[in-house]
Amino acid sequence: MRGSINLKMGKVAIITGGSSDIGVAIVKKFIEEGTKVYSQYNSNPINLENPNLFQIKSDFLKFEEIDSLVEYVLKKESKVDYLVNAAGTIEGQNFLVCSSEKIENLFQVNLFSHIYLMQKIFPLMLENKFGRIISLSSIGVKYSGSINSTYYSASKSALESVTRSYAKFGAESNVLCNNIRVGVVDTKIHKNKDLSARTQLIPVKRLGRPEDIAGFVLYLCSEKGDFITGQDIAISGGE
């Protein structure tokens, strides 16, 4: 997915989790294509200045802050062409001792917040007869998660199901919705971890790069991806 995808000019994107390593790569790819990007972040904005980039601090544990995010965008725009659900969190704890509060917060960020946002944006896409929704899931869904990511995988599996349902109801209006199952990607979350053994389990024998994911997000949003909807696509080096 190197080089220009040639998205049409004048498009508008909302990207959640825009300050994560993968989120940053997605933001940059859209910016390169001339897309106006509204990037949601929770902690720190990214160090990038561009007239087409608007960064919005929004805590996805709170529905009212999602409302504020949507209101901010729709005060400036009459449409939203692309919605990328990239925000997420992981429990990182044995599933037997993970607290109910932590599980609830995980599902709020990974699932309920994105459902709420999709409910706001999807009708606009239907009205405009164009839209692309991309939900970032995990290859962990295929394996039902690990001992420390059981609920993470469950939340992503549910998000996949919702996104496929939206795909079914949006297809006739050219609103295409897909899931990307992200493999093991070299990001800050794995900093100071020895992933050499894990890498050997990947058929291509390397970790993914954020750009690998970002490139395919753009592909699905481009004319090249206009016959793809309702799919769970693994970008995982063959896993």
pLDDT tens-digit map of 40-73: 999 999 999 999 999 999 999 999 999 999 999 9
Q: Quick check: is 189 in a domain?
A: yes
pLDDT per residue as tens digits for the range 119-154: 999 999 999 999 999 999 999 999 988 899 999 999
Amino acid at 13: A
Q: Residue 4's pLDDT band (boundaries 50, 70, 90)?
A: low
User: Nearest-5° angle of CA 70, CA 58, CA 86?
Assistant: 85
Q: Is the model's pLDDT at 12 over the cut of 60?
A: yes
Q: Is residue 138 part of a domain?
A: yes
In a domain, 1, yes or no: no
Question: Does pLDDT of 1 surpass 50?
Answer: no
7 within some domain: no
The residue among 33, 35, 32 whose CA lies nearest residue 14 is 35
CB 134 within 8 A of CB 82: yes
Whichever domain contains 55, its CATH number is: 3.40.50.720
214 in any annotated domain: yes
Angle value at C-alpha 155, between 102 and 138, nearest 5 degrees: 115
Range of the domain at 150: 12-235
> What's the mean per-residue pLDDT of the chain?
95
Helix or strand (DSSP H, E) at 39 = strand 36-41
Tell me the three state secondary structure of residue 85.
strand
Q: How many domains does the structure of the chain reveal?
A: 1
Q: Are 170 and 128 in contact (CB under 8 A)?
A: no
Instruction: Identify each DSSP E strand in 86-217 by its residue range.
Output: 131-138, 175-182
